[in-house]
A and B are shown apart, each in its own frame.
Chain A
């Protein structure tokens, strides 16, 4: 029995000695990333005063019978895609910079076919038109800066990391559209659009989260990143058509392709 125990500990010791062998890892430092993602921020539409209310309020209770209420809480998803260069600074740390194109669309619509819009008035007359919806799409070009911190040194097939980043986003275009219930009323298009507030020309976002890398660093690999919180900061433009909250969340996926393979990161890990 004693011999058996000694034998068992010898085998275990040998395994432990073998497990602590150092291995040298090499991987290209520079990678090109192609990314696509979505951030969701709670936002509200500035409902223009020209809209005739349809909601029925009574004694502080909301009897909304879905008879024409104009929703001012839009689906506010910021879709984004871009290109970035990812550089392995260290066995655990990578940094990236790139160009990110993002856009979001908000639509003001009724829960029925249309809502009424006061298009003109004098002291003794008013003219309403029927509008199916009004939408605004804003396109931004941003510069993201990100840092990833890997939890493990070894390049496992699935590797977990934390990420923090910021991006500076500049408005490149905005597109306002009015869908009229009666096409003949398109003559009032400019009249309606002049009441739609312009978006902010710049916003900055800070975000943190975690990611999962799938694949070996020497080959093209993909990752999925989850962000919370996403903090957006912009000048509080009270006239803007869409007003977003500061806080949100997001998800993004990236395909990384190693480039300039001569530029190698070499480091040792204990296996």
Chain B
């Protein structure tokens, strides 16, 4: 039995090693709150936020971000885990200029999205149930968007930023705050409909 466990451990270990380095989630703890990732701009494929008294965090097992452009709207989705490693996806949908490939994400550089605006939707997908949030305070700020090249070849776009929102949940106010993300977006994570 021990040998079988060891075999599976080695398989998992090898599987984690074969993933391209830039696709891995690197968690550098925040000095103020070591449960959250530090705000970085290296494309560490991570994000984190406090969700009430819990933490919503990127996981190395889940693709942390996918972006969908459809009908002049951009859907920016963060997928990770919350209490007891349950999966959760937080999506921000907002109007955006035309985008054709991932490099067009550079238009988001230093852009602040007001999450209370009429053309903005915030959704949570949890346990298979999708909930549209009634946000009464919040913002999503793409502090830095950069085109990352590896040895002079364009490889991906790095989105780094912060978010905070307060919303109504079951007729009670709830909040997600201290949100930060540092994500590498390649062709396979950017979809145009």
Contacts and interface: CB of A to CB of B under 8 A. Distances in A.
Given A60-B34, A125-B146, A182 B151 contact: yes
A131 to B, nearest CB: 11
B149 interface: yes
Contacts of A52: 42
Nearest to A60: B34
A124 B147 contact: yes
Given A67-B16, A67-B21, A127-B152, A58 B27 contact: yes
Contact of B60 (A55, A56, A130, A184): A56
A185 interface: yes
A56 B25 contact: yes
B28 interface: yes
Contact of B27 (A56, A66, A67, A112): A56
A244 interface: no
A66 B21 CA distance: 11
Size category of the A interface is 20 to 34
A9 interface: no
A66 B17 contact: yes
Contacts of A184: 151
Nearest to B13: A65
Contacts of A67: 16-17, 19, 21, 24
6 tightest CB-CB pairs across the interface, nearest first? A127-B149, A125-B147, A67-B17, A65-B16, A57-B27, A124-B146
8 contacts: A54-B21, A54-B24, A56-B27, A67-B19, A116-B22, A124-B147, A126-B158, A127-B148
Given A126-B149, A128-B149, 15 more contacts: A65-B16, A66-B13, A67-B19, A67-B21, A68-B21, A116-B21, A116-B22, A118-B42, A121-B146, A123-B144, A124-B106, A124-B144, A126-B147, A130-B151, A184-B151
